[in-house]
Structure 1
Amino acid sequence: MGIVKTPFDNMKLFIVITLCVIVHSCKEQEKKSVIKKVITEKEKVSHDSNLEDKQSNNQSTQTSFQSPFVNNQISQVVRTIFQDSRGDIWFGSQNGAFRLNGKSLIHIDRIKNESGKGVTIKDITEDKDGRIWLGHTGGISSIDGELVTNYYESDGLINNDVWCITADTNGNIWIGTIAGVCVYNGHEFINFKLPKGKIDATLGVSSSKMVHSIVEDSKGTLWLSSNAGLLSYSNNKLIDVSDKVDIQTNFVNEVFEDKKGVLWISTKKDLFRLRGKELTNITKDNIEVGKGIGSIAEDKKGNIWFTSNQHNLYVYDGKKIIEYQKSEDNKGPVIFKIYSDQEDRLWFVGYGGAYRLENGKFLNITRSGPW
């Protein structure tokens, strides 16, 4: 005999099914809530860890380089390059600092500004004890083995906008900033008084106290390139060299000492050679300077390489100036720095990455070399 379902039976079935759906839904919601809570706790641990990382100045300095930069470049903008006494090559970029150890490129990931953000490295030097010092947009940093220490205005630095840094033979660290110069003696920062200069109205960033470069020559004299002209410092005496030798511009960019001890001075106006007290204008009436002379370097033959207006590259052999001609199949970067390494190889870094001059042509050096 068949079973006859009444409207009441159908109603009971509907209620049972509805209750099952509600119970299942509640369990799923509870499960999702538990999962969300676990994820939230993980996010909190990660956030707390990041804060701890940002607040710590003394940390392990390096991680394997894995950042995906444009076209495999070390960085799209490489501001400076430096080779230390161990032979390691350092690249300062808009993406921080990189160290080439053998054939391994390592990103130094603990260099931060006061708010914990990344910085652009503008200059690199090494002190007498082998520590590496970097000047950047967020202050300065030192690297001692596996540890990095960041220094800021809150530590006594004159200004966090650092443009140059050098270590003298006594171990003092000289720091040039947009607000002048200070010296770190290992214990404290001491402000170094300079004459007031002028603001370069043609640049987006400039000040009357700006210092672009500080170098120590082979005789132990410090040379400061500033918006107050060229200054030298030795035996506790500061001298206005621009006034003495008649460099007719306030805006001095860089001083370079060649292998013979001759000084080369790049300015907003021209390139000068300084032998003792004899100043010679190398570029006057020979080339169009444009926005000024930039970086200077010497090759293994003793030729002087320099940039004008960042886009133009020249070679001076002691008699004549020759423009290095670029072409569609031989393009380098917009040059910020020319550098000769310990093997006398010429490097050119700037906007567009890092390059070396090999057999008369620019060779693009990416994060995978060739080294």
Structure 2
Amino acid sequence: MKIYSLLFALLWLQGCHSKAQNEVSYPKLVIPAGTGQYCFIRSIMQDKAGNIWFATSGAGVYRYDGKGFVNFTTKDGLNNNLVNCMLEDSRGNIWVGTKDGVSKFDGKRFNDFALPWTRTPITSPFFRQTVPQKGCMPQANKTVLSMLQDKMGNIWFGTQDEGVIQYNGKTFTEFLANEGPLGNDGFHHVAIFNMYQEKSGNIWFGSYRYDGKTFKNFPFIENTSDSSDIVVRSYKDMLEQKSFFSSTNNILEDKKGNLWLNHSCRYGVAKYDGKTITNFTDKDGLCDNIVRAIAADKEGNIWIGSKRKDARGMKEGCISIYDGKAFRAFSTEKMSNSSVESLFVDKDNNIWIGTREVGLYRYDGKTLTAFTEKQVNN
């Protein structure tokens, strides 16, 4: 018996030694050399073991165990370093949605998980760019923007151009592929940026709510009178055409069961109580109407991350906190990066803030700590 115990211990130590050789941990999140200024932390999640994962739009994903960061990129099997979303399923598997589909983590490496793409190739009108920029949003399809595992165990993949794909563990079913405006390529285009399942069981795919049988679209109400703004004009036109822009970027359910929704354009946030929609903008105390992220802390406060332009016309990040009665500003003076792109509350009630330039910060209720470090070229 002692011999078997000794062999087991040796094998365990060897496994740990091999893993340590493959995974190099750093005290801070190190930005790879050459990463563009528009590369940002797209989403954040915490797994069952307590590790926190950070998805970036150009530098792969990072895993933080409370002591250091490990960076996973295409060298570790990711199908693309431009990552949009992450998911831990009920079995503890980590799924990553990228510009080129889905990668699944087996504990050591990422492996490609094939989705049944039917529209190949397509250049999305939503992400078309005159001058391509490294680390920016994707230009083609096969892009997974969001993921969700529902209470029945089905995994849903929100895509850029093919609606949402449901995977029940064996087969795939496609929904919403024929929503959105009709493009010159003959296909409809709808981008599913976010998915959320209510406590009631209803699932939201952007602004589409699914009760298990039918989908209902909840159009976002216009919140601005600045008709001279080209973004506002374009956004309004697209809404009238039932555009993919009507898809909600973020969805959050607070302690009272209210749903908070926002769009990436200049429309602030909306609170839906199941009957009516209440809209909040800078007139109500928001630091800016371009909202990029929403999170709720354990006290029930709603954190809202935005981007705005200062007096010099330079972009900067700002955060508003809603306590149920009013908005107050969270100081971002110590944040050197621009737009706030992601917010996350971990199990210890720390607030993680992701920004452009792959900026990462943690607020523990008293102190704001920076966790990003640029790679030094020798």
Mapped to 1, the partners of 2:189 and 2:147 lie a distance apart of 19
Counterpart amino acid of residue 87 in structure 1:
G
Q: Which residue of 1 aligns with 2:213?
A: 236
**Secondary structure of the residue that 2:370 maps to in structure 1?**
strand
**1:108–1:308 Cα change, 3 Å:** closer
Q: Which residue of 1 aligns with 2:345?
A: 340
Q: How is 1:113-262 mapped onto 2 (pairs within 5 angstroms)?
A: 113=79, 118-152=80-114, 156=117, 159-179=141-161, 180-194=163-177, 196-197=179-180, 208-225=189-206, 230-242=207-219, 247-248=221-222, 250-262=246-258
Counterpart amino acid of residue 313 in structure 1:
I
**1:367–1:288 Cα change, 3 Å:** closer
Mapped to 2, the partners of 1:208 and 1:104 lie a distance apart of 40
Mapped to 1, the partners of 2:175 and 2:297 lie a distance apart of 34
**1:220–1:364 Cα change, 3 Å:** same
| Aligned with residue 112 of structure 1, among 58, 73, 78 | 78
User: When the two structures are aligned, how many residues end up with a matched partner?
Assistant: 287
- Give the deviation of 1:68 after TM superposition: 5.8
Q: Which residue of 1 aligns with 2:368?
A: 362
| Aligned with residue 86 of structure 1, among 35, 49, 62 | 49
Mapped to 2, the partners of 1:339 and 1:141 lie a distance apart of 22
Q: Which residue of 2 aligns with 1:47?
A: none
Task: State the TM-score, normalized to the length of structure 1.
Answer: 0.68
**1:85–1:266 Cα change, 3 Å:** same
Q: How well do the aligned residues superpose, as a CA RMSD in angstroms?
A: 3.2
The one-character-per-residue Cα deviations of 1:189-236 (angstroms, maximum 9, x if unpaired) are 32212553359xxxxxxx8311111112222221111xxxx1111222
Preserved contact between residue 313 and residue 324 of structure 1 (Cα < 8 Å) = yes
**1:288–1:100 Cα change, 3 Å:** closer
**Secondary structure of the residue that 2:23 maps to in structure 1?**
strand
Mapped to 2, the partners of 1:188 and 1:211 lie a distance apart of 21
Mapped to 1, the partners of 2:289 and 2:280 lie a distance apart of 16
Residue segments in structure 2 that go unaligned for 5+ positions in a row = 1-18, 120-140, 183-187, 223-238, 240-245, 309-316
Q: Which residue of 2 aligns with 1:320?
A: 326
Q: Which residue of 2 aligns with 1:351?
A: 356
Identity score, percent: 26
Residue segments in structure 1 that go unaligned for 5+ positions in a row = 1-59, 200-206
Mapped to 1, the partners of 2:68 and 2:363 lie a distance apart of 21
Q: Which residue of 2 aligns with 1:20?
A: none
Preserved contact between residue 191 and residue 247 of structure 2 (Cα < 8 Å) = no
Query: Looking at both structures, which has the greater relative contact order when contacts are Cα pairs under 8 Å and sequence separation is at least 6?
Result: 2
Mapped to 2, the partners of 1:367 and 1:169 lie a distance apart of 39
Preserved contact between residue 148 and residue 155 of structure 2 (Cα < 8 Å) = yes
**1:102–1:315 Cα change, 3 Å:** closer
Q: Which residue of 1 aligns with 2:276?
A: 278
- Kindly name which structure, 1 or 2, has the bigger radius of gyration based on alpha carbons: 1
**1:332–1:324 Cα change, 3 Å:** farther
The one-character-per-residue Cα deviations of 1:257-279 (angstroms, maximum 9, x if unpaired) are 12332210112323111112122
- Give the deviation of 1:85 after TM superposition: 1.7
The one-character-per-residue Cα deviations of 1:268-296 (angstroms, maximum 9, x if unpaired) are 32311111212211227325786632210
Preserved contact between residue 139 and residue 157 of structure 1 (Cα < 8 Å) = no
Preserved contact between residue 154 and residue 169 of structure 2 (Cα < 8 Å) = yes
The one-character-per-residue Cα deviations of 1:76-113 (angstroms, maximum 9, x if unpaired) are 63221100122111111221122223424223343333
Preserved contact between residue 86 and residue 147 of structure 2 (Cα < 8 Å) = yes
**1:367–1:99 Cα change, 3 Å:** farther
Preserved contact between residue 223 and residue 232 of structure 1 (Cα < 8 Å) = yes
Counterpart amino acid of residue 192 in structure 1:
F
Preserved contact between residue 81 and residue 90 of structure 1 (Cα < 8 Å) = yes
Higher helix fraction (1 or 2): 1
**Secondary structure of the residue that 1:285 maps to in structure 2?**
helix
